[in-house]
């Protein structure tokens, strides 16, 4: 099964995923194929904690029943990654991003920044081991010590080549996550993170978007995703009030149109609360999103 076929079928054998080149260039090529062949698909996924189930197997069964094809996990080490990879092999469920979060990459203290680079490398090792699409990285939440914006940005861009080198070596990538101003003042809009990826000129440096943060920060979801073209490898799904998509007034049509236009090939993953019974509401939300995806005509 080649990468194109893999993307077409959306059935993510973990072994197959781990063997893929995750470099940006190849995804760019796949994206172009997607645009040409109209094979861009909505690959629904969820953070594992969101899916009901007493065991991973129960979660996998529920997810597959509802049309999901991937799971996102939190931070982990290589040993845990090996175990989870074994548990998921053959289930048909792929591993999306690992939601690590904060690494002190723009700390005023240079020693802390160096420690952060090493921690990112270990996270990349785990992400590569489990065959995930990358490591979610937040350079600073509002409550973390951090350099002023311009200085922090410069320091971050300068650290990227070392991170990227390791990412290439293990075949993984990092995914910067823009957050709303209430959580992080560092970057808020997708084009800001894309600017860092662009300036870093390092193919393991990529990014993601989150419909919840985007509702607060972006004027135009479609334009925001287009601004991230070439760097976007993960998407978080949540409504305006951070519940399940479809549980309030947040529309996904413009954003999905943007994803189709850039030939997005990766997962769209629930990171949200639920109003009501998850066993009822999650499948309802998945069905609603498939409808929104159909309405996103390009």
Task: List contacts with its own copies (CB under 8 A).
Answer: 180-182, 188, 215-216, 218-220, 240-242, 248-251, 253-254
Q: What are phi and psi of 242, to 5 degrees?
A: 65, 35
Q: How many helices (H) and strands (E) in the chain?
A: 12, 8
d(CA 97, CA 12): 13
| Residues in contact with 256: Cβ distance below 8 Å, sequence separation at least 6, in sequence order | 42, 292, 293, 295, 296
Query: Are the CB atoms for 215 and 247 separated by under 8 Å?
Result: no
Burial of 78 (0-12, 13-18, 19+ CB in 10 A): middle
CA dihedral 290, 229, 35, 95 (to 10 degrees): -50
Q: Which residues pair with 267 in a beta bridge?
A: 43
Q: Which residues pair with 210 in a beta bridge?
A: 236
Kindly write down the DSSP assignment for every residue of 128-174, as one continuous string: HHHT-S-EEEES--TTS----HHHHHHHHHHHHHHHHHHHHHHT--E
Instruction: Write down the least CB distance from residue 216 to its own copies, Å.
Output: 5
d(CA 122, CA 58): 29
Distances (CA, A) of 281 to 62, 232, 260: 12, 28, 26
Instruction: Write down the least CB distance from residue 181 to its own copies, Å.
Output: 5
In the bound state with its own copies, the residue whose beta carbon lies nearer, of 188 and 265, is 188
């Amino acid at each position: 099964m080649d990468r194109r076929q893999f993307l077409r079928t959306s059935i993510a054998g973990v072994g197959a995923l781990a063997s893929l080149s995750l470099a940006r260039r190849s995804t760019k090529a796949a994206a172009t194929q997607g645009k040409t062949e109209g094979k861009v698909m909505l690959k629904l996924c969820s953070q594992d904690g969101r899916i009901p189930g007493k065991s991973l197997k129960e979660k996998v069964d529920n997810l597959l029943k509802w049309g999901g094809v991937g799971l996102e996990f939190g931070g982990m080490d290589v040993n845990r990654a090996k175990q989870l990879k074994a548990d998921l092999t053959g289930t048909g469920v792929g591993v999306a991003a690992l939601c690590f979060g904060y690494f002190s990459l723009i700390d005023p203290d240079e020693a802390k920044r160096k420690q952060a680079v090493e921690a990112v490398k270990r996270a990349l090792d785990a992400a590569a081991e489990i065959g995930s699409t990358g490591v979610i990285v937040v350079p600073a939440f509002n409550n973390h010590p951090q350099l002023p914006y311009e200085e922090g940005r410069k320091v971050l861009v300068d650290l990227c080549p070392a991170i990227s080198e390791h990412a290439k070596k293990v075949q993984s990538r990092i995914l910067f996550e823009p957050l709303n101003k209430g959580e992080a003042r560092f970057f808020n809009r997708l084009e800001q993170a894309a600017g860092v990826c662009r300036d870093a000129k390092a193919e393991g440096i990529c990014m993601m978007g989150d419909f919840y943060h985007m509702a607060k920060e972006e004027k135009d979801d479609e334009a925001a995703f287009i601004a991230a073209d070439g760097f976007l490898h993960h998407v978080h799904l949540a409504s305006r009030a951070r519940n399940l998509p479809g549980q309030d007034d947040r529309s996904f049509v413009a954003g999905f149109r943007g994803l189709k236009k850039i030939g997005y090939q990766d997962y769209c993953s629930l990171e949200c609360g639920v109003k009501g019974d998850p066993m009822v509401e999650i499948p309802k939300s998945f069905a609603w999103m498939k409808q929104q995806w159909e309405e996103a005509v390009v």
